[in-house]
């Protein structure tokens, strides 16, 4: 099966500065790929190259099996793109704008009305077809922007910060729309909102100083979010020697008021043994909570150290 996006050994130099350094990844149908990176990491440069707006210094990009350098027009027909600021004309109605976009995509005249109706239905715009875009809420303007990106039923949809500036209800609606679109397309979602990645995406990758430093499924990311510590609170004072004798425990921080943070090895969770020991010893077990790291902590840990350039 051909990947919807195949990026192989991508490089981009600006003079002597390497903005994108040997980046490779794929996107399959049904995947929603969250693309993260701090400012200046090379994320925007990578996105521009995938969209065909910027030529790579070296490397190959295929969109649905079509090389974007050899056949740029054909490859771009497989792409739908929503930039951070939706490219909508506020003085047009929703219908007028989508018909205009359909013609830009060079859809056959007999297919324009059907394509517009389908995009409006999928994006929840059926009731606002006759309204001026300038009179719509920002959430609905985002929907119009997504509708123009899917008019021509592209294989890949690229969304850049699609929920910035929306209220909580609008954010929930746009995220649900993205999940629905992800069932039939491959989607790249660029965002700085870390919880959005967990809620919407099936896979996540982080770029830092031009290199991919993380490429994992959401399940794998959530496993890595499990911290190597548990919080213990007891009614009486526990015997720390007995706790240290439990297999896998290597350090204990005393937090006061009979509260302890217990650090353990990566490959073992001593929670059951701690509970059994606390109960049998009569310490009065009140709490035993495995700790989790937030995605923000993982992001900071991954990006705070610069990756070393690979040997040539």
- 274: domain CATH number is 3.30.70.100
Do residues 202 and 243 both lie within one domain?
Answer: no
Per-residue pLDDT of the chain (312 residues; tens, 9 = 90+): 568 999 999 999 999 999 999 999 999 999 999 999 888 889 989 999 999 999 999 999 999 999 999 999 999 999 999 988 888 999 999 999 999 999 999 999 999 999 999 999 999 999 999 999 999 999 999 999 999 999 999 999 999 989 888 889 888 989 999 999 999 899 999 988 888 898 899 999 999 999 999 898 988 887 777 668 899 999 999 999 999 999 989 899 999 999 999 998 877 789 999 999 999 999 999 999 988 777 787 788 778 764 444 433
C-alpha–C-alpha distance, residues 234 and 252, integer Å? 14
* Residue-range definition of the domain harbouring residue 180: 5-222
Do residues 209 and 236 both lie within one domain?
Answer: no
**What tokens were used for 227?**
């911290």
Do residues 72 and 109 both lie within one domain?
Answer: yes
Whether 299 maps to a domain, the answer reads no
Whether 307 maps to a domain, the answer reads no
Do residues 76 and 154 both lie within one domain?
Answer: yes
Side-chain-side CA neighbours of residue 302 (13 Å): 24
Whether 28 maps to a domain, the answer reads yes
Do residues 191 and 255 both lie within one domain?
Answer: no
What are the CA-CA distances from residue 309 to residues 36, 205, 303 (Å)? 20, 18, 14
CATH of residue 128: 3.40.50.300
């Amino acid at each position: 099966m051909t990947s919807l996006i195949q990026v192989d050994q991508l490089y981009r130099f600006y003079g002597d500065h390497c903005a994108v350094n040997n980046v490779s990844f794929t996107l399959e149908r049904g995947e929603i790929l969250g693309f993260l990176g701090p400012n200046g990491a090379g994320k925007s440069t990578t996105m521009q190259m995938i969209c065909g707006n910027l030529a790579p210094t070296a490397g190959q990009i295929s969109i649905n099996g079509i090389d974007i350098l050899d056949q740029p027009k054909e490859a771009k027909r497989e792409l739908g793109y929503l930039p951070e600021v939706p490219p909508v004309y506020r003085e047009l109605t929703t219908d007028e704008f989508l018909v205009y976009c359909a013609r830009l995509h060079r859809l056959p005249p007999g297919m324009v009305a059907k394509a517009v109706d389908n995009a409006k239905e999928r994006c929840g715009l059926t009731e606002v077809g006759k309204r001026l875009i300038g009179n719509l809420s920002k959430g609905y303007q985002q929907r119009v922007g997504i509708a123009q990106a899917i008019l021509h039923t592209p294989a890949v949809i690229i969304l850049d910060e699609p929920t910035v500036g929306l209220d909580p209800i609008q954010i929930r609606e746009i995220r649900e729309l993205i999940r629905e679109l992800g069932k039939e397309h491959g989607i790249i979602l660029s965002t700085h909102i870390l919880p959005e990645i967990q809620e919407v995406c099936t896979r996540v990758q982080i770029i830092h100083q031009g290199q991919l430093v993380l490429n994992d499924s959401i399940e794998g990311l959530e496993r890595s979010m499990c911290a190597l510590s548990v919080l213990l609170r007891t009614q009486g004072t526990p015997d720390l020697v007995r706790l240290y004798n439990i297999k896998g425990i290597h350090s204990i921080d005393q937090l006061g008021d009979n509260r302890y943070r217990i650090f353990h090895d990566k490959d073992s969770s001593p929670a059951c043994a701690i509970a059994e020991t606390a109960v049998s010893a009569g310490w009065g077990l009140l709490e035993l909570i495995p700790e989790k790291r937030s995605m923000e902590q993982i992001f900071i840990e991954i990006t705070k150290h610069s990756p070393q350039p690979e040997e040539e």
